[in-house]
């Protein structure tokens, strides 16, 4: 659990610059750090320093609890009206024969494949396609709820919603009300990319603006619903633009409280128009998790999305502010494998998930999509523990 010892040592360490000691003091006092402080952390501090601060906050907020869920993805299409420069996965409509476009029935087949299995969430993400309009998604969500009412639908992002509501001449509120009535339970954090308009124009031109992204989340939260937030980092953005991005999220969260988790997404550089941009190091990934944990004092959860960051860095991140590693996934997403991530067929068994967390001394908790605990796996013994990796629990 959170102890002040390491923080106190930093505060008293006169070999550290005053700014570093003052920021540590703010954390100990439970005070919010400023945007200038956050920029200072990015520009002038090392991993071990931010790690101590972030771990203190993580343990104060969540103890050793580390959450995961049992989920699968459906990616209805990779054909897209946009062509974001970082996207390895999408195909333009003129090249649609190279991609896939699922029908409602094909998506229901995927949902039915999980009948009788203990998954709790389906996550929809993918390209933006003109024929997938408001009535299409309403029908999809209704059919899923009719088939399996308890399955949580986490679906789409303001990128799709802005596009389909405009086409239907609906206000954001009218559109989100219709999605909720059809069965949408929560919104994932995608499509945020980086809010700075200049960088956004260069890497994600044409799709919804930062203001539109934030407005749709705001409306969703005002309806009493929840969502996540992401930040695509480690490409051509500056540290100041990362701070600006997180600051806009922190301000909205002050107003609504509707965000559950913040998920930094590391730019992966294979098979896209930005392959010449090198990826940042794992040290920078961990620093970024830590600084987001320190800055976003009003977010309860920081998530490392393991299919994107890789299992090893996800595991290490649990000492740098992260307290959630997403889900079992069951090899149902292609976004990251196509962009060069380590796992080409991302899937983790419950035992792998639990042992990833347990091996670094944290407490594995299966959660539902709204972070209500389903099961504490701390003392669970798995058949496969005796068969692989040479460790057995107990």
- Give the nearest residue (CB) to ligand V47: 190
232 binds, among ligand V47, ligand SF4, none (CB under 5 to 8 A by kind): ligand V47
Q: How far is the CB of 116 from ligand SF4 (least distance, A)?
A: 32
Task: Give Cα separations from 168 to 174, 208, 217 (angstroms).
Answer: 10, 16, 19
Q: Does 83 bind ligand SF4 (CB under 6 A)?
A: yes
Binder among 230, 292, 323, 356 for ligand V47 (CB under 6 A): 230
Q: How far is the CB of 310 from ligand V47 (least distance, A)?
A: 12
Choose among 331, 335, 336, 330: nearest CA to 350. Answer: 330
To 10 degrees, the CA torsion angle through 208, 211, 214, 219? -100
Q: Does 84 bind ligand SF4 (CB under 6 A)?
A: yes
Q: Does 80 bind ligand SF4 (CB under 6 A)?
A: yes
Binder among 127, 158, 175, 191 for ligand V47 (CB under 6 A): 191
- 204-224: string of b/e by CB count within 10 Å (b at 16+)? beebbebebbbbbbbbbbeee
Q: Which alpha helices (H) appear in the chain, and where do they start and end? A: 5-12, 18-29, 35-44, 47-62, 104-113, 134-147, 158-167, 172-182, 197-204, 210-222, 239-256, 282-295, 306-309, 311-317, 350-358
Binding mask 286-325 for ligand SF4 (x = CB under 6 A): ----------------------------------------
Which range touches ligand SF4 (CB under 6 A), out of 84-92, 145-153, 230-238, 300-308?
84-92
d(CA 242, CA 39): 9
d(CA 182, CA 145): 8
Site for ligand SF4 in 120-149 (CB under 6 A): 127-128
Site for ligand SF4 in 229-248 (CB under 6 A): none
Q: Does 51 bind ligand V47 (CB under 6 A)?
A: no
Q: Does 326 bind ligand V47 (CB under 6 A)?
A: yes
Q: Does 212 bind ligand SF4 (CB under 6 A)?
A: no
Contact present, 263 and 229 (Cβ < 8 Å): yes
User: Which residues are at the interface with ligand V47 (CB under 6 A)?
Assistant: 86-88, 125, 188-191, 193, 228, 230, 232, 263, 265, 267-268, 272, 305, 326, 335, 339
């Amino acid at each position: 659990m959170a102890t002040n010892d390491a923080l106190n040592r930093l505060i008293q360490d006169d070999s550290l610059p005053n700014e570093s000691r003052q920021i540590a003091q703010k954390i100990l006092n439970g005070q919010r750090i400023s945007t200038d402080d956050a920029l200072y952390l990015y520009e002038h501090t090392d991993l071990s320093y931010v790690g101590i601060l972030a771990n203190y906050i993580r343990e104060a907020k969540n103890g050793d609890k580390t959450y995961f869920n049992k989920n699968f993805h459906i990616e209805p299409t990779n054909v897209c009206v946009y062509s974001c420069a970082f996207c390895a996965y999408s195909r333009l409509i003129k090249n649609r024969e190279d991609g896939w476009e699922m029908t409602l029935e094909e998506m229901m087949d995927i949902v039915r494949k999980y009948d009788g299995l203990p998954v709790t969430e389906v996550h929809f993400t993918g390209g933006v396609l003109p024929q997938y309009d408001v009535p299409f998604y309403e029908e999809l969500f209704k059919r899923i709820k009719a088939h399996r009412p308890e399955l949580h639908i986490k679906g789409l992002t303001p990128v799709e919603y802005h596009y389909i509501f405009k086409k239907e001449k609906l206000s954001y509120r009218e559109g989100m009300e219709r999605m909720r009535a059809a069965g949408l339970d929560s919104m994932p954090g995608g499509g945020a990319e980086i809010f700075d308009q200049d960088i956004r124009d260069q890497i994600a031109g044409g799709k919804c603006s930062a203001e539109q992204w934030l407005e749709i989340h705001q409306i969703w939260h005002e309806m009493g619903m929840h969502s996540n937030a992401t930040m695509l980092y480690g490409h051509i953005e500056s540290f100041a633009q990362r701070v600006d991005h997180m600051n806009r999220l922190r301000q909205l969260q002050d107003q609504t409280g509707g965000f559950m988790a913040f998920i930094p997404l590391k730019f992966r550089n294979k098979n896209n128009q930005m392959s010449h941009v090198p990826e940042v190091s794992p040290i920078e990934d961990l620093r970024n998790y830590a600084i987001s944990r320190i800055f976003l004092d009003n977010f309860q959860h920081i998530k490392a999305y393991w299919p994107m960051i890789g299992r090893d860095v996800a595991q290490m991140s649990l000492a740098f502010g992260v307290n959630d590693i997403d889900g079992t996934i069951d090899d149902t997403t292609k976004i990251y494998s196509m962009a060069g991530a380590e796992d080409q067929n991302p899937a983790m068994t419950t035992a792998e998930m639990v042992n990833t967390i347990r091996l670094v001394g944290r407490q594995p908790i299966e959660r539902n999509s709204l972070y209500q605990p389903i099961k504490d796996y701390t003392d669970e013994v798995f058949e496969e523990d005796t068969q692989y990796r040479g460790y057995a629990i107990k």
